[in-house]
A and B are shown apart, each in its own frame.
Chain A
């Protein structure tokens, strides 16, 4: 009798770690890759528990952060469909504050347009394209708005035009990754004592080529970040950054300009035809 009990006990003991092992594998599979690597490097139970606990604690926090952003987006859509454009614009703006997103900015532009805020609408659509140049509705909205309000598009240099082909941040990562790929393919075979192969040099050359090609776009992103849009109707372009300054001209809402410098409550901007100062709140940069 004792023997059988002992046998059963032994069986349970032997199965328990196996079950834990399977559970652990399942959890590891569910974890992001980075956590799996960490789990692999720390094979001790403590390491596994630590990372699992971290994920379990952090995951709800991430969900809490994501929830208001999408909830606000849905609120905005509902308000827009109920023709409450002011409420929709407010919700979309709050959503972009939490998490800038191309679709949210596109909808914000629509709501602002319905409210008659041409400048804010153009800025929102431009920001949507800044994040996602493949957002065709936002592109069509801009074309529609510029035709309706008789506005010009920003004048871009060739390297700035190139930078509009992909999302702004992509160029940065492409340039960085390709450069370090080229460096790595030159250095690593020697360090790792691999026999030098033609493909090492080919990949290094490819990386260098991509890097050199992406540099102009990288610079274009940098200069495009100074492009902004006039937000208010009949904005005075002033000769000096003072309240009583002589007016150079009046700018229409949505007109593009480049930020030159800032001084106090005024910004010096260069439009397609003139250079002058406007109040800071009358001008919005694409980069926020």
Chain B
């Protein structure tokens, strides 16, 4: 409590004043400027409008916004700045008129500001001061730490300012605040080496996709937040700093998910290029039940920083009880090669050490268990094995009972037999397909599909019944066959009559009468003679004329068939109407 009371108060009672400026006030067409509004108030107290009124033709998009506390005597004075990125393609003067916002619930007037867009700005006009965001790589994998630098170049005269409240604005990444390093070093800017303030940290993307981010910070003059290393010559400006909210151009990170294919055992999220040092065992001769430490160092050999490294889990083996390190030693920046060389300023290489605690459970153990470990190499886009190898050891019998393994294993944490559910890998093929997600039984065609076999079976049943009936009544088939033959011969006779082919007419007529009479006897049609036909005609009450016609046809055909001299069949053509009637009578009898 006393510590809290000893802190300086934040001044929220002073009259709130707002300033609004364009930085720079004069630009070329298409050149970016910043519209910056500042308040001497806390950011949360400002009720900022969603949209600002501005002259037509002036493109405005929301930029950085932030707050910094300045020490003014016994209290902190808050300063809030809100930036807009503005740009105009055309020449002219563009205004953002005066408007009011509520701060601490009271109206505060934001003064008007004017931007001049001219073809040739006056000589000596300086572009807007801004910071530069430099990310080592923009094509990353999820979880891959990347070095990010925020640079504020000094003036050509060697004057350089510090940056305060440096932030990265965007979504989907983590900023390693614990690993921030600040320095001033000469860097090339527009061909000249000028002292540059460098704020360096590590970004770790946490989601896949395209991530947009930009850096922002307040120019802080001679105030530095945290330790700083100055290399070369630099002039730090004196006097109270002018806190100006600066921001960088947005950059886009393309973040891909880690491939699930080829993942190796012991992967704990390590991404980069690592090397394993030789595992060091506390002693090579132990007794059953004694504790022995196994230390192994992991060195970062990649370009990326060694931000966080999780030790692989302890394996469960029969002869050893292994305890995973509770926490890996923090990564230390180290020189790579040659040993003893200074650490490159722009490389955050590092080394960390995992220390496992092992207890031999039997004297049969000849070596420590191998501990599976792997990492993902973003350069190769594949996983690499980094298994901690076994170390030979001699285990002597100890004072502990021989059945130690059982209680030790029983007391050890239970093994999770059920795998924790996780999002699966992508299916590599479309898999089982269907015409529709709607169930087949609910499709319109389904009743028809079910009716088809029903109709088939009904048809088969009906056909079988009919077949059995016909088997019992063969005369039905006989008559049907005779009727078909009669009609066929009848047609032949008609065609012959039309063609005046008397012999053919007579033959067809006789054949028609024979086939029509055959079922009544029954007999082979060709075996029937005229009297057989006449018998049927008489039975049906045929008159003499019909009988005469029948006789004449049979006479002529018999003569042509059996007599030495053929009979003249031409006269039969005239009997066609009578023949029609006879055949009709016979047809009726069928």
Interface residues, chain A, with chain B CB atoms under 8 Å away? 69-70, 73, 77, 80-85, 95, 99-104, 106-107, 110, 113-114, 127-128, 130-132, 135, 137-138, 140-141, 143-144, 147, 167-169, 172-173, 176, 180, 183-184, 187-188, 190-191, 218, 221-222, 225, 286-288
Tell whether, in the assembled complex, residue B439 and residue A144 are in contact, meaning their CB atoms are under 8 Å apart: no
How far apart are the CA atoms of A279 and B13 in the complex, in Å?
51
**B259 / chain A contacts, CB cutoff of 8 Å:** 81
Chain B residues with CB below 8 A from A140, complex form: 421-422, 424
Which single residue of chain B is at the shortest CB-CB distance from A84? B209
Q: Which of B68-76, B316-324, B457-465, B564-572 contacts A (4 or more CB under 8 A)?
A: B457-465
Chain A residues in 8 Å Cβ range of B434: 100-101, 131, 167, 169
Known contacts A110-B423, A169-B440, A218-B441; A103 and B461 CB within 8 A of each other: no
Q: Mark B443-457, 1 if CB is under 8 A from A, else 0.
A: 000100110010001
Q: Is B432 an interface residue (CB 8 A)?
A: yes
B430 touches which one: A70, A169, A287 (CB < 8 A)?
A70
B337 in the interface (beta carbon within 8 A): no
With A and B bound together, what is the CA distance between A168 and B583 in angstroms? 66
Q: Is B7 an interface residue (CB 8 A)?
A: no
Provided the pairs A138-B424, A176-B450, A191-B464 are in contact, do residues A102 and B440 lie with their beta carbons within 8 angstroms? no
Interface pair B437/A190, CB less than 8 Å apart: no
Q: Which residue of A lies closest to B141 (CB)?
A: A83
Q: Is B442 an interface residue (CB 8 A)?
A: yes
Residues of B within 8 Å of A221, CB to CB, are 439, 441
Known interface pairs A85-B208, A180-B453; A107-B427 also in contact (CB < 8 Å): yes
Contact between chains at A131 and B437 (CB < 8 Å) = yes
Q: Is the CB of A222 within 8 A of B439?
A: yes
Q: Could you mark each residue 394-430 of chain B with 1 if its beta carbon is under 8 Å from any beta carbon of chain A, else 0?
A: 0000000000000000000000000001111111111
Contact mask B234-266 → A, CB, 8 Å, 1/0?
000000000000000000001111010000000
The smallest C-beta distance from B220 to any residue of chain A, in angstroms, reads 37
B424 and A82 form a contact (CB under 8 A): no
Q: Is B2 on the interface with A (CB-CB < 8 A)?
A: no
Closest 10 CB pairs of A and B: A103-B431, A103-B427, A83-B208, A137-B424, A101-B430, A144-B421, A102-B431, A288-B437, A132-B432, A101-B433
Contact B426 A130 (CB under 8 A): no
- Can you list 10 A-B pairs, Cβ within 8 angstroms, ordered by A? A83-B208, A95-B430, A103-B428, A104-B431, A106-B427, A113-B423, A173-B440, A184-B453, A184-B457, A287-B442
Task: Count residues on chain B whose CB falls below 8 Å from chain A CBs.
Answer: 39
Decide: A101 near B431, CB < 8 A? Known: A169-B440, A180-B453, A187-B457: yes
Interface of chain A, helix or strand or loop or mixed?
Answer: helix
Are A135 and B431 in contact, CB atoms less than 8 angstroms apart? Answer: yes
Interchain CB contact under 8 A, B256 and A83? yes
Q: How far is the CA of A85 from the CA of B432 in the complex (A)?
A: 23
Which B residues touch A141, using CB under 8 A?
Answer: 421, 423-424
Report chain A residues within 8 Å CB of B256. Answer: 81-83
With A137-B424, A140-B422 known, 4 other A-B pairs at CB within 8 A are A102-B431, A103-B427, A180-B457, A225-B439
Name the residue on B nearest A77 (C-beta): B426
Q: How far is the CB of B455 from chain A (nearest CB, A)?
A: 11
Docked CA distance A286–B460 (Å): 40
A contact residues around B14 at 8 Å (CB): none
Q: Which residue of A lies closest to B255 (CB)?
A: A83
Q: For residue B449, which residue of chain A has the nearest CB?
A: A176
Q: Are B257 and A287 in contact (CB under 8 A)?
A: no
User: Judging by beta carbons under 8 Å apart, are B421 and A191 in contact?
Assistant: no
Contact of B422 among A85, A100, A144, A180 (CB under 8 A): A144
Q: Counting CB contacts under 8 A, is B438 at the interface?
A: yes
Interface residues of B in 167-198 (CB under 8 A from A): none
B430, A69: Cβ atoms under 8 Å?
Answer: yes
Beyond A83-B257, A100-B436, is A222–B441 a contact (Cβ under 8 Å)?
yes
Give Cα distance in the complex from A172 to B433, angstroms: 16
Tell me which of B208, B257, B428, B438 contacts A225 (CB under 8 A): B438
Residue of B nearest to A136 (CB): B424
Q: CA of A209 to CA of B6 in the docked complex: distance in angstroms?
A: 87
Would you call A172 and B423 a contact (CB within 8 A)? no
Whole-angstrom CA separation of A191 from B468 in the bound complex: 10
Complex-state Cα separation, A102 to B427, whole angstroms: 9
Query: What are the residues of chain B within 8 A of A113 when measuring CB–CB?
Result: 423
The answer on a CB contact under 8 Å between B460 and A191 is yes
CB neighbours of B422 from chain A (8 A):
140, 144
Q: Which residue of B lies closest to A184 (CB)?
A: B457
Residue of B nearest to A180 (CB): B453
Instruction: Specify which of B424, B436, B438 lies most central, judged by the most chain A CB atoms within 10 Å of its CB.
Output: B424
Complex CA gap A286/B208 in Å reads 29
Q: Is the CB of B429 within 8 A of A103?
A: yes
1/0 per residue B333-355: CB within 8 Å of A? 00000000000000000000000
